[in-house]
Copies of this chain bind each other. A is one copy, B any other.
Amino acid sequence: MAMQQALWWLAPLSAIVALAMALYFYKRMMGFPEGDEKMRAIASFVRQGANAYLRRQYKVVAIFFVIFAVLLAIMAFALKVQSRWTPLAFLSGGLFSALSGYLGMRAATFASSRTTEGAKTSLNRALQVAFRSGAVMGLVVVGLALLYISIFFLFLTRILKFDLPRTTVTMLSFGMGASAQALFARVGGGIFTKAADVGADLVGKVEAGIPEDDPRNPATIADNVGDNVGDVAGMGADLYESYCNSILATCTLGVAAGLGFSGVAVPMAIAGLGTLFSILGIFMVRTHEEASQAQLLRGLNRGVYLSTILTFICAILVILWVLPEHKGLAVSALTGLLAGVIVGWSTQYYTSERYRPTRSIAEEAKTGPATVIIAGLSVGMQSIGIPVLVVAGGILVSFAFASGFTQPALGLFGIGLAAVGMLSTLGITLATDAYGPIADNAGGNAEMSGLGPEVRKRTDALDALGNTTAATGKGFAIGSAALTTLVLLAAYLQEVKANLVKIASGAADEVVPIEGAVSRLADLKAAGITFFIEKYNVHLMNPKVIVGMFLGAMMVLVFCSLTMRAVGRAASKMVEEVRRQFREIAGIMQGKAEPDYAACVDISTRAAQREMILPSLLALIIPIVAGLILGVAGVMGLLTGALAAGFAVAIMMANAGGAWDNAKKYIEGGQLGGKGSDAHKASVVGDTVGDPFKDTSGPSLNILLKLMSMVAVVSAGLVVKFAPVVAKFLHISF
């Protein structure tokens, strides 16, 4: 036990180290010179815009959180279908997620002009500033998540003296705060950034013919703000959520599989080790002047691979040491790490201009925009093949090695370890991801401050690299979302079981009789997956399951429709505003008058706030409604249907969007007629369609899947208790 205890403590300790390192990197970055007055002014504009957005966003989210916490409190105290700690956990979970988004974005907005200034000296210096500022984000996310989980675990076990099953099942519902906050961040940030981007491009580039990031374009600051709120804060909240929930769900499954405290200690130790090695990896990232794109990428990869390999080795040792009778679990953890890497490669293959798929889209630009769209959609749809096969294979392998197909509970824990393994090095993978928008902003800053071409060339090199790492990061985000959702599904049944035990033991005030309920409590406590499947008919011949699956697939597409439409509407408003400023502010095109940047930021902000409500509410309400009407079987159908369809559609959208973007860049690089040709114009259409695909709808889907599962977990008690009541009522009205 002492050994497991020691391993467990790796998590909080590495959390503290991570947070300390984040602070160190932050201080170091702040110590760099900030550039001349113009550079500082531009950075300050962007920072103010980003902060203003985040303030407004958090205000809206706070209102929502309070309302939902009250509902949870009613569920907990009046209906007794929820732990009394859930409302608090929900609020604190959201708070920690919001905090990590804020801190990461703060670092990013302070880093951009410093990166530009660094680029005046050397490429390596610019890389150091940008990458280590990205590392602030990565380390804050994993540090806060591990700290949060550790503190609550100690609180429940030491202060409240909960036993392990009760602790893990209770903590599972803690993830919902992070999920809900992540959805708002992703959807809101995604709408903000793409409304600004599309608006800036359609009027600035296409109509007025001025280059990207030109200071005369009123939407250009909003565009740069968008990178921070969408790609930094949004992505951070997304992965904070995956990270938290995969660990929480895996601990629940480990305890449910009968592994006792080891079931908790192993996933937490792997996460802790991954964090420590991520820090080591971050220090390994450097490059030299005149580095080629490939060398830059190698510089980054050196750090990522080092931490991945070290984590892998230590994870094996931990499992062999603590759970020697379950050696297969080591394979499970490895599977996750490997799957993440392969999905990342596949994303690069389908979206990089160096490979055939993206070039084939560029080729189709010769016959106009329609063929570009058809080709892009086709490439996107084709690109789901490898990730699905890899993730599906990973699920089977991690399940099989953990369980030998004979102990399903252990197999599910194995899948959980695969998810934890995939995310264990999040500290550094998120750093490589968050550094992209910083470099992008640095380039924008250089352009707007009118710095020399050699500065812009260096920031461009970093930015291009950022696009590649962003693609990899998206692959990780999607892959981990799929595994996390699956693990949450498995954990859901533990939550259902816990509620059944509560009802059967009379712990609830009002015991609603459940048909065929197991009479003896001991039986129920021992009952595993089979019992659950049988009691609720969670099989593929139950029409409730099938109907749930239809609804799940529908939710995915309707959600995409809403978010895409939101971007379209917001972009239209932006187009009108930019046109108005060009028309009404005299001297703007001559650079004599300053455009009203704030007005554009405000439009994106308002649009994002308004448009994020409906899709987010859908994700929160549908699982509960489906649960009350269709019961546990319907919920499981809903979640699996959404998972299967959503995983495929999310990859399709991310990759189609990335491929369109790079097909355009390929043409802009001088191929097929280059900039200004008809082929280029056609490729711009593809890029514009791809914008909401890859930066709004696609990434939001990841969170949709996880949030719906989380809502199902939290509402399990409600559904178990009241679905039979609703069914009885509906039967009468038939």
Mark A residues whose CB is within 8 Å of B. Answer: 198, 202, 206, 364, 367-371, 373-375, 377-382, 384-385, 388-389, 391-392, 395-396, 399-401, 408, 411-412, 415, 486, 489-490, 493, 529, 532-533, 538-547, 549-554, 556-558, 560-562, 564-565, 567-568, 571-572, 575, 636-637, 640-641, 643-645, 647-649, 652, 684-685, 688-689, 692, 734
Chain B residue contacts of A564, Cβ below 8 A? 374, 377-378, 381
Query: In whole Å, how far is A153's beta carbon from the nearest beta carbon of chain B?
Result: 26
A392 near B538: Cβ-Cβ < 8 Å: no
B644 near A568: Cβ-Cβ < 8 Å: no
Chain B residue contacts of A388, Cβ below 8 A? 550-551, 553-554
A378 near B565: Cβ-Cβ < 8 Å: yes
* Distance between Cα atoms of A257 and B411 in the complex (Å): 36
Known: A391-B550, A541-B493, A561-B378. A685 touches B373 (CB 8 A): yes
Query: In whole Å, how far is A734's beta carbon from the nearest beta carbon of chain B?
Result: 7
Chain B residue contacts of A490, Cβ below 8 A? 541
Known: A369-B369, A401-B734, A550-B388. A378 touches B568 (CB 8 A): yes
A637 near B370: Cβ-Cβ < 8 Å: no
A-B contact pairs, 24 of them (CB 8 A): A198-B370, A367-B575, A373-B685, A374-B689, A375-B568, A377-B689, A380-B561, A381-B560, A391-B550, A392-B547, A392-B551, A395-B546, A401-B734, A489-B541, A490-B541, A493-B541, A538-B541, A549-B643, A554-B648, A556-B648, A557-B648, A641-B644, A645-B645, A685-B685
Which residue from chain B places its CB closest to the CB of A645 in the assembled complex?
A: B645
B550 near A411: Cβ-Cβ < 8 Å: no
Chain B residue contacts of A373, Cβ below 8 A? 373, 685, 689
Query: In whole Å, how far is A691's beta carbon from the nearest beta carbon of chain B?
Result: 9
Chain B residue contacts of A560, Cβ below 8 A? 378, 381
Q: Knowing that A367-B572, A382-B561 touch, tell me 14 more A-B residue pairs with CB under 8 angstroms.
A: A370-B685, A373-B689, A374-B689, A374-B692, A378-B560, A379-B561, A382-B562, A395-B547, A395-B550, A489-B540, A540-B636, A553-B647, A554-B648, A557-B652
Known: A367-B202, A374-B567. A396 touches B640 (CB 8 A): no
A381 near B561: Cβ-Cβ < 8 Å: yes
Query: In whole Å, how far is A404's beta carbon from the nearest beta carbon of chain B?
Result: 8
* Distance between Cα atoms of A364 and B382 in the complex (Å): 28
> Max chain B CB contacts within 10 Å: which of A493, A552, A558, A692?
A558
A553 near B645: Cβ-Cβ < 8 Å: yes
Query: In whole Å, how far is A338's beta carbon from the nearest beta carbon of chain B?
Result: 16
Which residue from chain B places its CB closest to the CB of A201 in the assembled complex?
A: B370
Chain B residue contacts of A557, Cβ below 8 A? 381, 384, 648-649, 652
Chain B residue contacts of A540, Cβ below 8 A? 489, 533, 538-540, 545, 636-637, 640
Query: In whole Å, how far is A336's beta carbon from the nearest beta carbon of chain B?
Result: 14
* Distance between Cα atoms of A694 and B551 in the complex (Å): 23
Chain B residue contacts of A567, Cβ below 8 A? 374
* Distance between Cα atoms of A575 and B399 in the complex (Å): 51
Which residue from chain B places its CB closest to the CB of A409 in the assembled complex?
A: B541
* Distance between Cα atoms of A380 and B558 in the complex (Å): 9
B392 near A541: Cβ-Cβ < 8 Å: no
Chain B residue contacts of A532, Cβ below 8 A? 541
Known: A547-B396, A557-B384, A645-B645. A412 touches B541 (CB 8 A): yes
Which residue from chain B places its CB closest to the CB of A375 in the assembled complex?
A: B568
Query: In whole Å, how far is A638's beta carbon from the nearest beta carbon of chain B?
Result: 10
Chain B residue contacts of A652, Cβ below 8 A? 557
A689 near B575: Cβ-Cβ < 8 Å: no
Chain B residue contacts of A384, Cβ below 8 A? 554, 557-558
Known: A374-B689, A533-B539. A640 touches B554 (CB 8 A): no
What is the count of identical protomers in the complex? 2
B685 near A550: Cβ-Cβ < 8 Å: no
> Max chain B CB contacts within 10 Å: which of A202, A388, A562?
A388
Chain B residue contacts of A415, Cβ below 8 A? 543
Chain B residue contacts of A401, Cβ below 8 A? 734
Query: In whole Å, how far is A452's beta carbon from the nearest beta carbon of chain B?
Result: 34
* Distance between Cα atoms of A692 and B493 in the complex (Å): 43
Contact of A688 among B370, B529, B543, B568 (CB under 8 A): B370
Query: In whole Å, how far is A172's beta carbon from the nearest beta carbon of chain B?
Result: 16
* Distance between Cα atoms of A532 and B537 in the complex (Å): 13
B539 near A385: Cβ-Cβ < 8 Å: no
* Distance between Cα atoms of A545 and B529 in the complex (Å): 15
Which residue from chain B places its CB closest to the CB of A528 in the assembled complex?
A: B541
* Distance between Cα atoms of A543 and B391 in the complex (Å): 12
Contact of A202 among B368, B544, B565, B643 (CB under 8 A): B368
Known: A388-B551, A411-B543, A550-B392. A558 touches B645 (CB 8 A): no
Chain B residue contacts of A640, Cβ below 8 A? 540, 546, 549
Chain B residue contacts of A371, Cβ below 8 A? 568, 571-572, 688
Chain B residue contacts of A649, Cβ below 8 A? 557
* Distance between Cα atoms of A554 and B399 in the complex (Å): 21
Chain B residue contacts of A370, Cβ below 8 A? 198, 202, 369, 684-685, 688-689
Chain B residue contacts of A685, Cβ below 8 A? 368-370, 373, 685
* Distance between Cα atoms of A82 and B231 in the complex (Å): 56
B400 near A734: Cβ-Cβ < 8 Å: yes
Chain B residue contacts of A198, Cβ below 8 A? 370
A486 near B546: Cβ-Cβ < 8 Å: yes
Which residue from chain B places its CB closest to the CB of A360 in the assembled complex?
A: B565
* Distance between Cα atoms of A493 and B539 in the complex (Å): 13
Chain B residue contacts of A382, Cβ below 8 A? 558, 561-562, 565
Query: In whole Å, how far is A363's beta carbon from the nearest beta carbon of chain B?
Result: 10
Which 7 A-B pairs have CB atoms at the shortest separation, nearest pair first? A381-B561, A370-B688, A549-B644, A553-B644, A381-B557, A388-B554, A382-B561
Query: In whole Å, how far is A603's beta carbon from the nearest beta carbon of chain B?
Result: 16
Which residue from chain B places its CB closest to the CB of A366 in the assembled complex?
A: B572
Known: A568-B374, A645-B553. A544 touches B396 (CB 8 A): yes
Chain B residue contacts of A684, Cβ below 8 A? 370
Chain B residue contacts of A202, Cβ below 8 A? 367-368, 370
Query: In whole Å, how far is A321's beta carbon from the nearest beta carbon of chain B?
Result: 23
* Distance between Cα atoms of A37 and B670 in the complex (Å): 55
* Distance between Cα atoms of A644 and B372 in the complex (Å): 28
* Distance between Cα atoms of A567 and B371 in the complex (Å): 10
Query: In whole Å, how far is A479's beta carbon from the nearest beta carbon of chain B?
Result: 12
Query: In whole Å, how far is A251's beta carbon from the nearest beta carbon of chain B?
Result: 18
Query: In whole Å, how far is A725's beta carbon from the nearest beta carbon of chain B?
Result: 15
Chain B residue contacts of A391, Cβ below 8 A? 550
